């Protein structure tokens, strides 16, 4: 077991949230972006060896776009069309 330094006692942590920050969750609204976020993954985790080569998101995107151009078109690999805004 580890010992505490002489003269130091462990103090209980007090709640750091000030009393004036009371959140009324009854007024909360649903997230209007939840459906879009569920449909499109926002983050892709790269293995360490790959991340060491591709340091920026732009470098990953450029290589993937070049790879897509070399792939034969098939119904499964066609890029989805985005709706005009």
Write down the domain spans for the chain: 36-70
Report the C-alpha gap between 56 and 58 in whole angstroms. 5
pLDDT digits (tens, 9 = 90+) for 13-50: 566 777 777 778 898 899 998 888 787 777 888 999 99
Token pair listed for 79:
């890029």
What DSSP state is assigned to residue 66?
H
Task: Show Cβ contacts of residue 71 under 8 Å, excluding neighbours closer than 6 positions.
Answer: 77
Task: Show Cβ contacts of residue 37 under 8 Å, excluding neighbours closer than 6 positions.
Answer: 31
pLDDT of residue 64: 93
Kindly report the three-state secondary structure assignment for every residue of 34-65: HHHHHHCCCCCCCCHHHHHHCCCHHHHHHHHH
């Amino acid at each position: 077991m580890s010992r505490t330094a002489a003269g130091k006692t462990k103090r209980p942590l007090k709640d750091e949230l000030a009393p004036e920050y009371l959140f009324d969750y009854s007024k909360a609204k649903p997230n209007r972006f939840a459906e879009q976020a569920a449909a499109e993954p926002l983050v892709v985790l790269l293995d360490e060896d790959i991340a060491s080569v591709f340091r920026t998101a732009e470098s990953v995107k450029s290589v993937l776009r070049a790879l897509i151009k070399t792939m034969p078109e098939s119904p499964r690999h066609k890029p989805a069309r985005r709706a005009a805004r």
